[in-house]
Structure 1
Amino acid sequence: MKRRATMDPHQEQPAESYKIHVKMLKTVAIDVSCTDTVDHIKTKVSAIEGIDKCLQELFFSGIHLKNDDKLADYNIMTNSSVDLFVTDGMQISVKIPSVGKTINLNVRKSNKVADVKAEIEQKVGILMNNQILMYAGRQLEDNQLLSQCDLRNEQPLHVLVSPVDKLRIFVNVRGERTVSVNVKCWYTVADVKLMIETSEGLPASTHVLMRTQSGVEVVLAEGQTLQDQSVKNNDILVLQQKVQVFVKTWEGKSLTMSLPLSNTTEEVMKKIGDRLPMKEGMYYLCYRGHILSSGDTLEKHDVQNNSTIDIRLRNSRVVEPKPKNGKDAPRNII
């Protein structure tokens, strides 16, 4: 005797087909299911009406429908009406011979050529300043609108990679002012510092040039070029004064270090730890009898050039110098 097949109650049932109405200049009925995505609906509209998907924006009850969402997410039921708006979007093909790639970009005719370069930088990693965009044998300027370029779907853009040697950078001078400096990508950091010395009167030998990277200030290497250190057009660098100090240990050893005044106590301790085998947390720093507390900068304690910073073991006693009111201020470190 044949056994009767049973239906698993947890098995997903096929979605029931129904119709919705998409309003354009005319109304078109499309067969859909509640599990269809908005992108799938756009594909169907494209097949029926020949409107490219990237030009379509769908709305239901005033809500903008997102491509990856399903009709059920918006409670779009049978015989619902969805509004279609045709935008100024377009898809362009971009050939990059230098890396052997062709990519497609969804853009708007109201975008500028510079916007396309930014997309290429994000997708392929070629810096905007190194790109020359060519179309139909002519170079496109950054401030041109794509609508002015007479782009056609069958003809791709070409990207020529040509490093631009001219840069304009901004240098924050010791937190007091920001100056604009016109340089070339093959200038070294030492060259830039010399330019600032000439224009601002700040000796290159007593300053360092830094940039903020992942929230941390990094000193740029003197002998390397701006291009080697990925300095780009309109980047903001920081010029900070540095001092030469002598770091003296409790054993009488002495280190000579060149430090930016913006260095914190933690940064100085790390640099000392790179040169001396000392356990972290076992010592502290003292300058002219004052303890360099966590988070303090050398500038806060007015650390002078060719002065001495002492390394003290914890549990040692430090007596602060007399303040201006004449009272002693003993301080124990535990």
Structure 2
Amino acid sequence: MDSHHEQQQRQRLKIHVKVMKTFTLNVNCTDTVDQIKSKLSVIEGIGGSKQEMFFDGMHLKNEDKLADYNIMPNSCVDLYVTDGVQIYVKIPSVGKTIKLNVRKSSTVADIKAEIEQREGIVMNEQILMYAGQQLEDNHMLSRCDLRNDQTLHVLVCPTNRLHVFINVRGEKIICLEAKGWYTVADVKLMIETLEGLPACSQILTRMQSGLGVALTDGQMLQDQNVKNNDTLFLEQNVQFFVKTWKGKTLTMILKMSDTGKEIMDRLEEKLLIKEDMYYLCHRGRVLSPGDTLQNHKVENNSTVFVRFRNSGMISKDKEVIES
């Protein structure tokens, strides 16, 4: 009995598919609806996403087999060509791209509703962009000239607006108009535009329980609990070189607020020399242990020299007289 059933499953059928004209296809009972659509796609160039098949009033699902619908030899399957397109939706804020099968007659609002259902992003917090243009909710995809396999971009834009104050190295405070969905990288780029400080060298922190917590570039302000009228503190990294008395050059990366003492501590670890044996010199002047790199204008790719104390003498105004 089982073998008879298996034999029926393997039986080859000839069915007719009617779409304005009728095609005859040689298929197997175990073929899926999706496989039938692929065959038609090769013959007629009709994308599988545009095909809808019906048999005896039933809508055939892609993953089902012909045998599931009791389709017999010489059965007639109805094919309707839809206005469907397959598109990709890229959501940079979550680093994700999803695939949607939609109709050209769908509106932008319909797409937003599907994104909300799939990803949980509320419709009124979405901005859909295509080819550099924002899409209006009431526009149909056909009006946007959206084609198969094209990509939409979704900007997630919670309506909350933020006034954020940036304390720039304790020297000044600037106010930025931001939104909760801005990333820290976005804010750094704004600061670079306003202050000329390279974004890659910036460290933004906010105070939490009396401690400075560094903010992560790829995360949104709202995800890092930055609220309206909060103050963020801006520090800068600086890469510089330390040249020893033997001509060896070390590369260091420190904050502008770090002091000469921090350099000395690093040198003690690397060179095993005590602080009282040498001093630091930058641009012809002594860099005192208590002075910051910012005070001594140590900039990117500057060179700080290590001098032994018996190799020269230091005047009262801290100018170095080389021996």
Instruction: Give the alignment's TM-score, normalised by structure 1.
Output: 0.44
More helix by share: 2
Instruction: Give the alignment's TM-score, normalised by structure 2.
Output: 0.46
